[in-house]
Amino acid sequence: MSKNMQLATVGGGCFWCTEAVFQEVKGVEKVVSGYAGGNAPGRPTYREICSGLTGHAEVIQITFDANVISYADILVIFMTTHDPTTLNRQGADVGTQYRSVIFYHNKEQKEIAATVVTELAPYFDSKIVTEISEIPIFYEAEDYHQNYYRNNKSQGYCSYVITPKLTKLRKLHADKLR
């Protein structure tokens, strides 16, 4: 089977969580944690992102095989494994760097994102506040942020925040997992 590799870029709070989720999805070839959507000049650092002053969001860039999983399915998994109804917040993580965002790479992705958000809206008790914007420059995060959950499963944040997200993923999307 030939591969039809595409990119998806999303932010749903801490990138450690979203990275761990998508590393379990069939058809996902690579997940890179990073930053996008800010207005500060130059390559931002994690410390600058955490200040909330750069405007960047913590995001992941997913390389996936569209012959195995669709962009729409990527977005459904994304929207149902974080809270897309809280503005600039996921759990205890607060600030614009933790906003819910879909960065589209082309017109088709923009249309699919809008459709997925509209179709999922009735399933949430509050209004979805996920931003849908064109992908700006994507900056890869520092090496120690890559594969964070895989490398730090016993760390407190991983045990208390990420592991429950993975349990939810397995319950809601078992048919899409490796």
Q: Domain residues for 165?
A: 5-176
- The CATH number of residue 49's host domain is 3.30.1060.10
Q: How many domains, the chain?
A: 1
Owner of token pair 């925040």: 161
In this predicted structure, what is the pLDDT of residue 8? 98
The sign of the torsion formed by the CA atoms of 130, 66, 15, 92 equals positive
Structure letter (DSSP) for residue 142:
P
Q: What percent of the chain has pLDDT over 90?
A: 85
In this predicted structure, what is the pLDDT of residue 2? 56
pLDDT in tens, the chain (178 residues): 457 999 999 999 999 999 999 999 999 999 999 999 998 878 899 999 988 889 999 999 999 999 999 999 999 999 999 999 999 998 888 989 999 999 999 999 999 999 999 999 999 999 999 999 999 999 999 999 999 999 999 998 999 999 999 999 999 999 999 9
Catalytic residues: 14
